Chains A and B, each alone.
Chain A
């Protein structure tokens, strides 16, 4: 087990390095020039362009820039954002919390709701509830989150005025303490609902189909033949077997918690990582982008290792020590 973890850590580091290198190169090869963005004019002063290019080290070759970047990162220096003129880590640190607040809440709700409803639908397989939920899951699965967000906003914020349209806090009436918490929660309702609605079909279908599949396994017939109560068969044997695929997909989605809500953050002006990523791309903020991609790669690598470890606990057929 220890050897396996070590092996996974090494491959994880390799994966992070490769993805950072790829991102680093691709952003710089893509059309667009950050210096022109910063200079801000259609016809900037050549002197200013030269100074800025040198200042950011963009006059050096890409491999050279990469070596410098890696050296700095290893020293804990992720560089300065061109646009914000602040350390990259500081900006990311500010945006990570709102994003996690949004995406983690939505994911937990989607997983719990989707799985519970999926399991229940599987038990009532073929019944009206099952049929309705299956159709709804197809409908919501094919609904774009930005469109749904706008529609919900139109109905519940603009027309009914139950919830605020966008943002994370009411800028006109800043509150502190418990008032601030309630204000944020109030602002969370719409974006979280949007995410839950588009994400729940995924967990619903995984849970439903995996319960149905386990129910048709031979060992279920064995337990039925022994006279075991249907409830016990379900709660003890079906659930334990059927939960494994759900763990897989939850693990995979965990890895994308900090980057997967770009559309919804944009629609609801949520001050999170998704919007930061979007604006950094459009402004060619190289250090910011490299920093974000590095964080995403790291979180994917860490989550994958955690999922593998959870697996070995849940499924005895998976063993890592050879």
Chain B
């Protein structure tokens, strides 16, 4: 059984009277100890998907339906208390802007201690301190950080603090939401390799959200490509990012410079994201797709399997229809 399974998940933002369909019909599976990357351009719904899975979107601003099965248990049906028991212990997150991940007027150590006591309220302070110092060591931070305020740390150090915080209860599933995007490439490389090492050591399952295809290709096993709130293509990195079937994946890959490829290969995808408050009749990518046919504009393509766990939502891709 998959550790996390999304079934037909929809997330709709409520903006006044308007409805923004940020995530549509998301289906995916994450096996235990797997590493799955979710890529897509800004506004494609990657972060919304993660926030929805974590139930961090207030019902006041967003409607969520579908199923989010964690070990077979539907996350969306849990009440706040049941959810609190699972939070951070089972699933933890490293957020996009880690510089703001902690309160600026409280010390780093004290805040981590506070988080530790959510699940172990009776822990002695030596025990908590030791746990936090151990984590600092794992993420290559000095013990000194415990007594510092967030603003006294560099971006890379705060990122490490966020990672240490996320590992506080040795969670099964770690969600990294653009966790290294704001860092320089050198620090990003260091932190990514540290995360990969940790993953083996702590038997983590990783969900990595990023717009950087190179991060996914170098650190993930599987990949999900999202566009305008829909999943376009998913499968093993070695399949999807090497022989992409979906025109969007192809375009996305062409917009990144290859290390060895010719310079002339670099090309963007003309056009921009469609208005997410209007549900299109056909494929969401049809307007920008160079191969779009009449069928693409009139009929929503269903996910079809084209290989081992390799699925593509495109009329033009060949394969068995499993919709």
Contacts and interface: CB of A to CB of B under 8 A. Distances in A.
Interface in A305-320: 314-317
A147 interface: no
A173 B89 CA distance: 73
B131 interface: no
B93 to A, nearest CB: 5
Contacts of A232: 114
Interface stretch (B79-87, B191-199, B243-251, B294-302): B79-87
A317 B100 contact: no
B97 interface: yes
Of the candidates B85, B86, B115, the one having the most CB atoms from chain A within 10 angstroms of its own CB is B115
Contacts of A224: 56
Given A227-B85, A228-B114, A228-B115, A219 B56 contact: no
Contacts of B95: 218, 221-222, 225
A317 B119 contact: no
A317 B56 CA distance: 29
A236 B114 CA distance: 10
Contacts of B103: 219, 237, 240-241
A229 B80 CA distance: 10
B87 A241 contact: no
B4 to A, nearest CB: 15
B64 interface: no
**SS class of chain A's interface: helix, strand, loop or mixed?**
helix
A307 B18 CA distance: 46
A225 B105 contact: no
Given A225-B88, A227-B84, A218 B101 contact: yes
A304 B88 CA distance: 44
A225 B114 contact: no
B76 interface: no
A61 interface: no
A55 to B, nearest CB: 59
Interface in A238-266: 240-241, 244
Contacts of B84: 227, 229
Interface string A152-165: 00000000000000
Interface of A: 217-219, 221-229, 232, 236-237, 240-241, 244, 314-317
Contact of B102 (A219, A244, A314): A219
A314 B88 contact: no
Contacts of A221: 56, 95
Contacts of A241: 103-105
Contact of A225 (B85, B87, B102, B149): B87
B54 A317 contact: no
Contacts of B100: 217-219
Contacts of B92: 225-226
22 contacts: A217-B100, A218-B95, A218-B101, A221-B56, A222-B93, A222-B101, A225-B87, A225-B88, A225-B93, A226-B87, A226-B92, A227-B87, A229-B84, A237-B103, A240-B103, A241-B104, A241-B105, A244-B105, A315-B105, A316-B105, A317-B105, A317-B151
Of the candidates B86, B89, B103, B118, the one having the most CB atoms from chain A within 10 angstroms of its own CB is B103
A241 B150 CA distance: 14
Contact of A228 (B86, B118, B149): B118
Of the candidates A228, A232, A314, A315, the one having the most CB atoms from chain B within 10 angstroms of its own CB is A228
Of the candidates A225, A229, A232, the one having the most CB atoms from chain B within 10 angstroms of its own CB is A225
